[in-house]
Amino acid sequence: MKKIVLMGAVALFGLSNAQIAKGTSYLSGQVGVYHKETNEFGGNRKDNVIRILPTAGYFVNPNLAVGLGVGYKSAVTKYKLGNVVDGNPVEIKNTDNAFVVAPFVRKYWTLSDKLYIFGQLQVPLEFGKEEVDFNSNGNGGDPILSAPFMQKNNYTNIGVNIKPGLDYFITKNWSIEATIGEFGYNTYKRDIDGAKRADSYKFGISLTSVTFGVKYVFTK
């Protein structure tokens, strides 16, 4: 699977169509917001994710930029299962807050004078804290099965991802950009004695991987 990611990166960055000059720099800010509510297992689940990632980039060659993003991620998942313990609801809240550092390489291709597509190879590093809150707002019930508790742990998550996107220039200096998918590999490890790494792969387009941003370009 790692070989597939590497081959995709080579194919994505192998072409060239010079339009943005070498030496051009830019600042941008990307925001991703995701909300989903579902009913499952006889209860209710709510997911809320917010990602904020200011970035800076520099074109080392025509249409080829390198850069760095530094930002923050917050994810909250709430479960509520009704009347499962002595007629009282069980509530579970998972909170995930992380500091994100993401160096990247971005290759542009021109569609028109104002519209570009790009491929971005990114290495996101997340340093976060997870918190599980079980039934802290419960109303009694079985003192063993529904007794409230809270668990916290730190984690690191390292990825190698490819993100396709669009960039539309509304003026000479300002543009609106969006990423529309994510393909890659991530490895995750919690800072608990004996914890093992968990590897995962992302291939496709989902709402959790869509981001929007505004970019200011310092033209030469």
- Model confidence over 23-62: pLDDT tens digits? 999 999 888 888 888 886 667 888 898 989 999 999 999 9
Confidence of residue 133 (pLDDT cuts 50, 70, 90): confident
The whole-chain average pLDDT of the chain stands at: 80
- Model confidence over 146-203: pLDDT tens digits? 556 778 889 999 999 998 999 999 998 999 998 887 888 889 888 775 567 777 777 6
| 39 within 8 A of 45, measured Cβ to Cβ | yes
Of these ranges, 10-14, 19-23, 36-40, 138-142, the one predicted with the greatest mean pLDDT is 19-23
pLDDT at 206: 59
Residue 75, number of CB atoms within 10 A of its CB? 18
pLDDT at 71: 95
Where are the chain's structural domains? 20-102+123-153+209-220
pLDDT at 180: 81
pLDDT at 147: 58
